[in-house]
Chain A
Amino acid sequence: DAGITQSPRYKITETGRQVTLMCHQTWSHSYMFWYRQDLGHGLRLIYYSAAADITDKGEVPDGYVVSRSKTENFPLTLESATRSQTSVYFCASKDLYTEAFFGQGTRLTVV
């Protein structure tokens, strides 16, 4: 199916565990983004990527790692999850002449 998909939709993990959130888009968009959404903070940019093998830090990158070996995939890894990383995570993609399209989000709970 065309579009941008995130998996899993829901995840519960324990403090200290590594967890990876997946994002896949079928448009071959150049740009991809990861945001976290928390009450009172809106959407905060974690990492973004302008093309395969090019990534850059956003507003709140600490504790997260990203990679982009293929244009269509942009996984986000929490190397050692903390409770403060409990949030709803959104992936988005865009091209040079389009605005961003978002996935449906991953609700992550760290216990």
Chain B
Amino acid sequence: GQQLNQSPQSMFIQEGEDVSMNCTSSSIFNTWLWYKQDPGEGPVLLIALYKAGELTSNGRLTAQFGITRKDSFLNISASIPSDVGIYFCAGPTLWDTDKLIFGTGTRLQVFP
């Protein structure tokens, strides 16, 4: 079945630095979603992408839907301590769009 692989697995950065993470799949997706999970909470939607090549921003966050439809990228500019958490990519599978699957996550730690 379709799988989503995220990299890096974890990141330790200094406050103020920019962050980049990505999500790849061996098969295409028609929607890419990025969620953030704060410690002890459920994931919350950050950005949704619906078209190949689409670039969407949400404050300091920018995400792109890869042209091949097999990858997506999330960038965070000027990181702050509240950016700490786990970032997940997700998307409905191609053959069953009711089935929403998630990646393995990128754990972000921000040091002051």
Contacts and interface: CB of A to CB of B under 8 A. Distances in A.
B6 A42 contact: yes
A40 B98 contact: no
B43 A90 contact: yes
Contact size range, A: 20 to 34
Contacts, number: 57
B99 interface: yes
B104 A59 contact: no
B112 to A, nearest CB: 26
A58 B99 contact: yes
Interface residues on B, range: 20 to 34
Nearest to A6: B42
Contacts of B98: 31, 48, 50, 56
Interface in A77-105: 90, 92, 94, 99-105
A42 B88 contact: yes
Interface of B: 1, 4, 6, 33, 40-45, 48, 88, 90, 96, 98-105
